[in-house]
Amino acid sequence: MPKHSQHRRRGRNALDADDLEWLGNAPETLDGPPEGDRWSTWDQSTPTEKGPRPHPDWLVTELAAVDTEHGILKTGKEADVHLISRGVPGTDRVCLLAAKRYRSSEHRLFHRDSGYLEGRRTRDDRMNRAMAGRTAFGKQAIAAQWAVAEFSALCRLWELGVPVPYPVQIVGTEILQEFVGTADGYAAPRLAQVAEGLDGLWEQLVAAMVTLAGEGLAHGDLSPYNLLVQDGRLVVIDLPQIVDVIAHPSGPSFLDRDARNVATWFAAKGVAAADPDGLAALLRKEAGLSL
């Protein structure tokens, strides 16, 4: 048989004996990490897509680091939170991170989604129409907006001294942030699960909400389920829907709702200082809004 016919029978992408011998001696993964599930994504984020400087000492930023998945911490309508460890193989340099991954085409929208999205229009009319029509492309754009909004909020609040997890980086629709929990991977309990030290936790929460209001912001969906308690310290989480209460036409109502949600819970637990109306009035005053 002519040589060119043999090549046609083998196919354009067929392997010859030399190829097979090389593959047999090659490492199992040609470009993958020596262990773990992926190389660290630290170098995939630009400086503006990384957390505020100085970066904490515990954070592993070496390019030789790898990320290892340890399962899901929380599932939600819009995103799932995964526990990962980032470490340098062969060393004791390792840290735990919470990876919040927003869904795209299958994205299920936040309750009251249209209210949160108001004021987040882009300069691209095609994208605005897609987002309004909730097309697959529009949902992907919305997911990206939520991720960027949450990462930006975490960075801003961290620099203000509000107790939030340190925002490590954002890569597409994945936010990597400080894991709030124990060194062996147990997440800190939510406020809703805590029964002790509530007076002190109330004081911490009021201070955090006052700081937010002073910046013209409201969490937008605050409740005992998106507040963590680590060794007596309150930590605010889940911030994609943070609201500019000055610019948003319904801004004051977001302040009022946050105040009502948390103060009612604390009052029901016996915290005498917890007063929904009093907290709402305080927050409006700090934000410079009329009652």
Q: Which tokens belong to 232? A: 């007596």
Verify whether residue 221 is a known catalytic residue: yes
Verify whether residue 92 is a known catalytic residue: no
109 and 154, same domain (yes or no): yes
Local structure of 276: helix, strand or coil? helix
In terms of residue numbers, what domain contains 136?
A: 37-187
Residue 77 has pLDDT above 80, yes or no: no
Residue 210, domain member (yes or no): yes
Task: Write the CB contacts of 168 (distance below 8 Å, at least 6 apart in sequence).
Answer: 50, 51, 59, 97, 176, 177, 178
pLDDT tens-digit map of 86-132 = 999 999 999 999 999 997 655 444 444 544 444 444 455 554 454 44
* Contact in structure between 138 and 131 (CB atoms under 8 Å): yes
State how beta strands 174-178 and 167-171 pair: antiparallel
174 and 197, same domain (yes or no): no
pLDDT at 141: 54
Instruction: Tell me which amino acid residue 281 is.
Output: A
259 and 244, same domain (yes or no): yes
Model confidence band, residue 36 (pLDDT cutoffs 50, 70, 90)? confident
pLDDT at 10: 40
pLDDT at 33: 81
**118-122, long-range: CB within 8 Å, 24+ apart, which pairs?**
118/248, 118/249, 118/250, 119/244, 119/247, 119/248, 120/145, 120/149
215 and 175, same domain (yes or no): no
Using CA atoms, how far apart are residues 76 and 150, in angstroms rounded to an integer? Answer: 15
183 and 208, same domain (yes or no): no
* Contact in structure between 235 and 165 (CB atoms under 8 Å): yes
Residue 233 has pLDDT above 70, yes or no: yes
194 and 183, same domain (yes or no): no
Catalytic residue among 43, 57, 125, 238: 238
State how many domains the chain has.
2
* Residue 291 DSSP one-character state: -
Catalytic residue among 221, 231, 275, 277: 221
Whichever domain contains 281, its CATH number is 1.10.510.10
Residue 22, domain member (yes or no): no
Residue 20, domain member (yes or no): no
pLDDT at 125: 54
